[in-house]
């Protein structure tokens, strides 16, 4: 428990943090990777290069400083980050490294303001926060280990299938090398892959959404090839059927839990359909009674993954309706068969159909796409308690 003086000092540094902005976290990461290069095997360096990770960390540090007297308001952010950390197998000793470089960064960027009292206050504040994360992450590790089919740390999985789903997306079916059962998961969660190969400059850990319902035997993920994606290109070009990958237990704070009489609307853009697919698979597997709406937008038929499978599901399930937008249909794309509208997704076209009073909405895709979805649904008067979304990579609030 932090004393009132410590809380007062940390809150007094908020203007300093705001003036530094992401220069603070950019300096922190440069310093840490310089002195602890082994952490390059832990952190996603692509997110470092894009600036998304420094921005996400700065937002978290600032939010903690502002709310240090009421940390309960940060509980959802703590849970999201803790889930992410377990995918990287973060251990307590690594928090000591991060804390050291955070304090040294404050000293180096603000030498006049970084008095011993300020540094001591931030050391106590960081220690309290680290303790929260360490405790929650240990709970997650234990839960993953103790449940049926569960494990802790890395486990060897064999690639049983590699299926091209579109010109950008390939799916992989992974089964445990030991032939034993696997841990169930909630639809919407992701699987953590630890990639280690001489063809990679560093070890890479990536999180890919599970795209079929839990079955206790195997996992299916779908990977989009990113133009400069180190891990995604490795998965597409190098990983083949029969190869062994190191896998960590499923995790994630984004998942679907609804009663069978709750209408569900699944909204996706591009590869954002992958967690939606696990949700749809779960609903159909458990014979969901209420209406299910599948809304998807992509570039064209060549980039429309799983389209044949979706057509089969729609024909076999009377309570499932689909609506697909192609931004720029190709010459071979068939309207009404493959897609229903041209251009960008426009939810207002379907408002009367997809806005029952008790529906829950799950959406995923590029950030501008999700911002549009949230703005539209909120504009219809739908409360945040019925809006659920996932941001791939470092989290951002819409």
Is 326 part of the annotated catalytic residue set?
A: no
Does 209 appear as a known binding residue?
yes
CB-based contacts of 201, cutoff 8 Å, min separation 6: 230
Q: Is 314 annotated as a binding residue?
A: no
Per-residue HEC secondary structure of 221-243 comes to EEEECCCCCHHHHHHHHCCCCCC
| Pairwise CA distance, residues 333 & 379, whole Å | 33
SS3 217: coil
List C-alpha distances in Å: 398 to 125, 314, 346, 370. 28, 31, 18, 7
Decide: 162 and 175 in contact? Cβ < 8 Å: no
Residues with Cβ within 8 Å of residue 96, at least 6 apart in sequence: none
Q: According to the annotation, is 275 in a ligand binding site? A: yes
Helix (H) or strand (E) holding 324: strand 320-326
Q: Choosing from 95, 126, 326, 339, which is the catalytic residue?
A: 95
Per the annotation, does 158 bind a ligand? no
User: 207: annotated binding-site residue?
Assistant: yes
Annotated binding residue at 188? no
Of 26, 137, 165, 299, which residue is the catalytic one? 137
SS3 219: strand
Q: Please indicate if the annotation marks 397 as binding a ligand.
A: no
- Is 141 labelled a binding residue? no
Task: Report whether 190 belongs to an annotated binding site.
Answer: yes
The dihedrals phi and psi of 194, each to the nearest 5 degrees, come to -110, 110
The answer to whether 270 is a known ligand-binding residue is yes
Residue 393 annotated as binding site: yes
Is 392 assigned to a binding site? Answer: yes
| 8 flagged as catalytic | no
Which element (helix H / strand E) includes 175? strand 169-176
Give Cα separations from 165 to 98, 152, 307, 328 (angstroms): 40, 31, 9, 19
Binding-site residues for FAD, please? 190, 206-209, 391-394
Binding-site residues for heme b, please? 85
- Catalytic residue set: 95, 137
Binding-site residues, please? 85, 190, 206-209, 270-275, 391-394
Binding-site residues for NADP(+), please? 270-275
């Amino acid at each position: 428990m932090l004393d009132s003086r410590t809380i007062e000092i940390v809150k007094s540094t908020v203007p300093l943090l705001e003036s530094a902005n992401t220069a603070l976290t950019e300096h922190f990461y440069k310093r840490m990777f310089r002195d602890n290069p082994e952490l390059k095997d832990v952190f996603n360096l692509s997110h470092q290069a894009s600036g998304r990770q420094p921005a996400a960390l700065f937002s978290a540090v600032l939010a903690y400083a502002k709310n240090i007297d009421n940390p309960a308001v940060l509980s959802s952010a703590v849970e999201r980050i803790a889930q992410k950390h377990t995918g990287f197998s973060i251990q307590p000793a690594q928090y000591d490294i991060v804390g050291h470089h955070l304090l040294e960064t404050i000293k180096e960027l603000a030498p006049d303001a970084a008095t011993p009292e300020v540094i001591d206050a931030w050391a106590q504040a960081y220690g309290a926060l680290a303790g929260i994360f360490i405790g929650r992450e240990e709970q997650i590790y234990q839960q993953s280990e103790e449940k049926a089919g569960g494990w802790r740390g890395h486990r060897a999985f064999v690639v049983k299938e590699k299926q091209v789903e579109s010109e950008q997306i390939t799916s992989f079916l992974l089964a445990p090398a030991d032939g034993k059962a696997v841990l169930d998961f909630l639809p919407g969660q992701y699987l953590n892959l630890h990639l280690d190969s001489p063809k990679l400059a560093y070890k890479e850990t990536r999180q890919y959404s599970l795209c079929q319902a839990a079955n206790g035997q195997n996992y299916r993920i779908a990977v989009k090839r990113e133009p400069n994606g180190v891990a995604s290109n490795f998965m597409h070009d190098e990983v083949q059927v029969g190869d062994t990958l190191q896998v960590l237990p499923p995790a994630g704070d984004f998942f679907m839990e609804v009663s069978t009489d709750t209408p569900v609307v699944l909204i996706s853009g591009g590869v954002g359909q992958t967690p939606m697919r696990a949700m749809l698979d779960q609903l159909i597997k458990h014979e969901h009674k209420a209406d299910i709406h599948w809304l998807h937008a992509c570039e064209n038929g060549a980039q429309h993954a799983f389209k044949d499978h979706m057509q089969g599901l729609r024909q076999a399930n009377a309570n499932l309706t689909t609506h697909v937008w192609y931004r720029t249909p190709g010459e071979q794309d068939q309207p009404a068969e493959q897609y229903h509208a041209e251009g960008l997704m426009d939810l207002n076209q379907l408002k009367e159909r997809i806005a029952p009073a008790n529906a829950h909405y799950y959406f995923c895709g590029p950030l501008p796409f999700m911002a549009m979805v949230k703005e539209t649904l909120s504009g219809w008067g739908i409360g945040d308690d019925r809006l659920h979304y996932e941001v791939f990579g470092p989290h951002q609030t819409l």
